[in-house]
A and B are shown apart, each in its own frame.
Chain A
Amino acid sequence: MSPKKLNLKDKYKLLTRDLDWEFSYEDRKEAFPYEEFEGIKITDWDKWEDPFRLTMESYWKYQAEKEKKLYAIYDAFAQNNGQTNVTDARYVNAIKLFLTGVSPGEHAAHLGFAFTGRQMGGIGARVAAQMQSIDELRHIQTQIHAMSHYNKFFDGFDEFNHMHDRLWYLSVPKSFFEDARTAGPFEFMIAIGFSFEYVLTNLLFVPFMSGAAYNGDMATVTFGFSAQSDEARHMTLGLEIIKFILEQHEDNLPIVQKWLDKWLWRGYRLLTLVAMMMDYMLPQKVMSWQEAWELYFEDAGGSLFKDLERYGIKMPDYTETIKQEKEHLSHQAWWIFYQYTHAAAFHTWTPTAEEMDWLSEKYPDTFDKYYRPRWELAAEMEAKGERFYTTGLPQLCQTCQIPMAFTEMSDPTQVSYRESIYNDERFHFCSDPCKSIFDNEPEKYVHAWLPVHQILQGNCGGGGLDKVMEYYHLDDGVANLEFEGSPDAERWKEWKGVA
């Protein structure tokens, strides 16, 4: 007798909602110990509307199909020496930044969604979070595989995992995700599921993936396509979670608003890396950071917030500041990396004359006035054989952990300094939002692992910069420093037959 075939609806019910059970002899609160401390009130989990109708069984089938195609392209890319077809060896530094700075975040998201996939009380939300958790694990794996081919020919990829826990700039994405993962399940879902995946993800993935497409990097582009349907699912989950929480109880509104204010800012600061990648690292540029911000945040995000207005949600107050900063962000960021590139696992360079003209055109109000002279100074020093590597270690913001390089929008030549005193100790911040995030929860940020302070306490190999480099596993003179004259640049010239 052949087994009875279930129809789709029954199958879906049995393999998702029906996996839950009543707590008849155990205390439900003990089973979900994280559900209440954040103050979020859930009155009826049955009101949860599944953002996508997918059972685990069909999930495996879809994903396996996608993997097959993806790995066929990776193989072809490797066999055809795809690394020689990118626009320029400088481009590869953008994906070094991706592998060291973004991919470990996929892993952190995997862990975070595994946590919420266990701790939220509603089965529908749990199943959705568990699927996203597996997606995120798939993403870091496929990203590592996409870039492993470059690792055979370029420096700076091989120790990405070791570096993630140590390098000064990698503490920016690392601490971002750790902040989210050490929050409760609902804050994590608003932080990563909604603010990051729904509102900001286009500003991360589209620039990197279009950047790859514009610069002949087929491996990374193909990864992007393969992740796209996953991302679409993640976005619907993000939107469902915020609407569900807000619809459950009116007391949830101020808590959610505070989380949005915090996480959109945290996410925006993290995207500083994307801004400089777009404007300075891509030999063939897609669009400027300013254009991307306008398209994906001001236009798309603007209509999203209109939609959320009916719940009482407001656009964060600081969006006006971000609007002004969009003309400065990438220039200030690349200047940090340019002068500290001796301690970074990728190369930096001064923009070419054509690139500077492109920047002038894209940033008519700021580039020539504030930033072109910086590059002229750098070029002058380089011409004298004194390529500018700065001395000393930067002061960092206690919250976002980025060097204190951002300036006042009322006076873009003046560094923006903010401080708080908590339990008689001074803490420093790059901006009003970073300060207020700290002031809201100082006990969380007083034990931030600030790379500069750790070096000065002797916890990073001890001794001088050479010991720090060993601790970082950073191959000095090879993976770091100026691009021109680097082993990467020399190999590229050899492949291309340029003297």
Chain B
Amino acid sequence: MTIRALRDDYHGEFKDSLEKFGGAQLVYLGWDKHQMFCSSRAFPLPPEMRFQELLDNVMPEAFGQHPEFNQIDWNKAQWILDNSAFQPDHSKSLTELDIGHKSLLRLVTPELTGYKGAGI
């Protein structure tokens, strides 16, 4: 049973389905062990955006306030997409990389341990 309701055929409207974002898709971006940012962030992005554009334009907006941001070596960065390890080709688009609507993309930088090495 997917809900206990007065009517067995009750169906809830999907409030956040893809078509509601005016051509964009939602992508959540997180930076593991960098808790200066209290949580991962939600960004509406065009599905045809190249990964390189995401690195150049979106990542600074998401995480540029962090003192370690400029030390990130993007060629060594590790990624977790929807809970699986992920190796993006920077020239491909979100769609080509299977970064879907409401996907969670996490950046992992083991050599950067956060403010005072405390995961912050």
Name the residue on B nearest A388 (C-beta): B65
Residues of A contacting B28 with CB < 8 Å? 395, 428
Which residues of the other chain, A, contact B24 by a CB distance below 8 angstroms? 456
Residues in chain B near residue A445, CB distance under 8 A:
12
CB distance from A172 to the nearest CB of B (A): 14
* CB–CB B35/A413 < 8 A: yes
Does B110 belong to the interface (CB within 8 Å)? no
A223 to chain B, nearest CB (A): 32
Q: How far is the CB of B32 from chain A (nearest CB, A)?
A: 7
Contact among B3, B12, B40, B44 for A456, CB-based, below 8 A: B44
| Beta-carbon contact of B38 and A405 below 8 Å | yes
Question: Is chain A's binding surface mostly helix, strand, loop or mixed?
Answer: mixed
Contact B14 A395 (CB under 8 A): no
Indicate with 1 or 0, residue by residue over B97-108, a CB within 8 angstroms of chain A CB atoms: 000111110100
Beta-carbon contact of B120 and A37 below 8 Å: no
Contact assessment for A394 and B40 in the assembled complex, using a CB-CB cutoff below 8 Å: yes
Restricting to B40-73, which residues have a CB under 8 Å from any CB of A?
40-44, 61-62, 64-65
Most chain A beta-carbon neighbours within 10 Å: one of B3, B13, B83: B3
The answer to the question of A448 belonging to the interface, with a C-beta cut-off of 8 Å to chain B, is yes
* CB nearest neighbor in B for A368: B118
Residues of chain A within 8 A of B114, CB atoms compared: 413
Task: For A340, list chain B residues within 8 Å (CB).
Answer: 38
- Minimum distance in angstroms from B116 CB to a CB of chain A: 5
Contact with B along A31-69 (1 / 0, CB 8 A): 001100111000000000000000000000000000000
Contacts of A403 in B (CB 8 A): 38-39
Give CA–CA (A369, B12) in the complex, Å. 44
Docked-complex contact A443 and B15, CB < 8 angstroms: no
Task: Bin chain A's interface residue count.
Answer: 35 or more
Residue of A39, A183, A405, A446 near B15 (CB, 8 A) is: A446
Q: How far is the CA of A392 from the CA of B103 in the complex (A)?
A: 17
Q: Is A2 an interface residue (CB 8 A)?
A: no
Give residues of chain A (184-209) contacting chain B, Cβ–Cβ below 8 Å.
184
State the Cβ distance, B120 to closest chain A Cβ, in Å: 5
Complex CA distance for A457 and B61, rounded to whole angstroms: 19
B15 contacts A450, CB within 8 Å? yes
Q: With an 8 A cutoff between CB atoms, is B76 at the interface?
A: no
Indicate with 1 or 0, residue by residue over A80-111, a CB within 8 angstroms of chain B CB atoms.
00000000000000000000000000000000
B104 partner residues in chain A, CB cutoff 8 A: 395, 417, 419, 426, 428
A473 within 8 A of B: no
Q: A374-B120, A453-B26 are in contact. Are A184 and B39 (CB under 8 A)?
A: no
Partner of A447, one of B13, B22, B64: B13
User: How far is A332 from B120 in the complex, measured between Cα atoms in Å?
Assistant: 12
Task: Find the A residue at minimum CB distance from B64.
Answer: A391
Taken residue by residue from 416 to 459, chain A's Cβ proximity to chain B (1 for < 8 Å, 0 otherwise) reads as: 01010001011110000000000001111111111011001110
B6: nearest chain-A partner, CB-CB: A37
Chain A positions within 8 Å of B32 at CB level: 414-415
A395:B3 contact, CB within 8 angstroms: no
State whether the Cβ of A373 lies closer than 8 Å to any Cβ in chain B.
Answer: yes
Contact across chains for B102 and A390 when beta carbons are under 8 A apart: no
B86 proximal to A (CB < 8 A): no
A37 to B14, CA, bound (A): 24
8 Å CB contact of A370 from B15, B41, B118: B118
Residues A394 and B39 in contact in the complex (CB < 8 Å), given A184-B4, A457-B20: yes
For B14, the chain A residues whose CB sits under 8 A away are 423, 425, 446-447
Q: Which listed residue (A413, A443, A446) contacts B118, Cβ 8 A?
A: A413
Shortest beta-carbon distance, B47 to chain A, in Å?
15
Q: Give Cα A423 to B2, complex, Å.
A: 11
B96 → A minimal CB distance (Å): 18
Contact of B62 among A391, A446, A456 (CB under 8 A): A391
Cross-chain contact B39 with A336 (CB below 8 angstroms): yes
Report which A residues bind B (CB closer than 8 A): 33-34, 37-39, 183-184, 332, 335-336, 339-340, 369-370, 373-374, 376-377, 388, 390-396, 403-405, 407, 413-415, 417, 419, 423, 425-428, 441-450, 452-453, 456-458
20 example contacts (A-B, Cβ-Cβ < 8 A) are as follows A339-B37, A377-B36, A377-B116, A391-B61, A392-B43, A394-B38, A395-B42, A413-B118, A413-B120, A414-B32, A415-B40, A417-B83, A425-B17, A427-B102, A428-B102, A443-B3, A446-B13, A450-B15, A457-B20, A457-B21
Residues of B within 8 A of A (CB): 1-6, 10-17, 20-22, 24, 26, 28, 30, 32-33, 35-44, 61-62, 64-65, 82-83, 100-104, 106, 114-116, 118-120
Q: Please name the 10 residue pairs, one residue from A and one from B, whose CB atoms are nearest each other, closest first.
A: A413-B119, A443-B3, A392-B41, A403-B39, A426-B102, A447-B12, A404-B39, A373-B118, A395-B40, A394-B39
